[in-house]
């Protein structure tokens, strides 16, 4: 029996981090959380995760910096940004940099599942920004 997809969630907001992880587990996927980008990078081993979900704005290293660091380690790991930043410039910069999807908080379970499934299947990202 294949193991469930492993999703990493990096967000400095403990309540959001935990609720995203509970939602991911409800989708029959495994989840591991990190409160900072550097904590994730310290624990990261290529191939350990199937997708990374991160916030855009965090203390220290932000989500786009984390995405760049991850791409240098494992170019195939899809990164989904879940953020409260709704400005077009942040969205454009993230998508140009190779973020798989840019979702705004609060994100609905349906939207998150659709984007996770697409990322895991390596489909063409939709660049979806609606919170559904």
Q: Does residue 65 lie in a domain region?
A: yes
pLDDT higher than 70, residue 78: yes
CATH number for the domain that contains residue 24: 3.40.50.2300
Q: Does residue 15 lie in a domain region?
A: yes
pLDDT tens digit string along 41-64?
999 998 899 999 999 999 999 999
According to DSSP, residue 123 is labeled: P
Q: Quote the crossing angle between the two packed helices 63-73 and 88-96, to the nearest 10°.
A: 10
Our count of domains for the chain comes to 1
Q: Does residue 115 lie in a domain region?
A: yes
pLDDT tens digit string along 28-40?
999 999 999 999 9
Q: Does residue 132 lie in a domain region?
A: no
pLDDT tens digit string along 16-26?
999 999 999 99
Exposed / middle / buried, residue 89 (Cβ in 10 Å: 0-12, 13-18, 19+):
exposed
Q: Are 48 and 6 in contact (CB under 8 A)?
A: yes
Domain residues for the domain of 88 are 6-121
Q: Does residue 32 lie in a domain region?
A: yes
Q: Does residue 108 lie in a domain region?
A: yes
Q: Does residue 64 lie in a domain region?
A: yes
Band the pLDDT of 119: cuts 50, 70, 90. Answer: very high
Q: Does residue 85 lie in a domain region?
A: yes
Euclidean distance between CA atoms 60 and 72, whole angstroms = 19
pLDDT higher than 70, residue 130: no
According to DSSP, residue 124 is labeled: P
């Amino acid at each position: 029996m294949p193991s469930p997809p492993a999703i990493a969630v990096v967000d400095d907001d403990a309540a959001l981090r935990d609720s995203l992880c509970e939602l991911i587990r409800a989708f029959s996927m495994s989840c591991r959380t990190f409160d900072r980008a550097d904590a994730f990078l310290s624990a990261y081993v290529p191939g350990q995760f199937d997708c990374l979900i991160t916030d855009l704005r965090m203390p220290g290293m932000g989500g786009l910096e984390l995405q760049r660091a991850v791409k240098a380690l494992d170019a195939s790991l899809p990164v989904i940004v879940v953020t409260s930043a709704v400005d077009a410039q942040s969205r454009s910069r993230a998508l140009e940099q190779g973020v798989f999807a840019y979702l705004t908080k609060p994100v609905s379970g349906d939207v998150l599942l659709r984007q996770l499934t697409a990322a895991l299947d390596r489909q063409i990202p939709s660049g979806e920004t609606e919170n559904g």
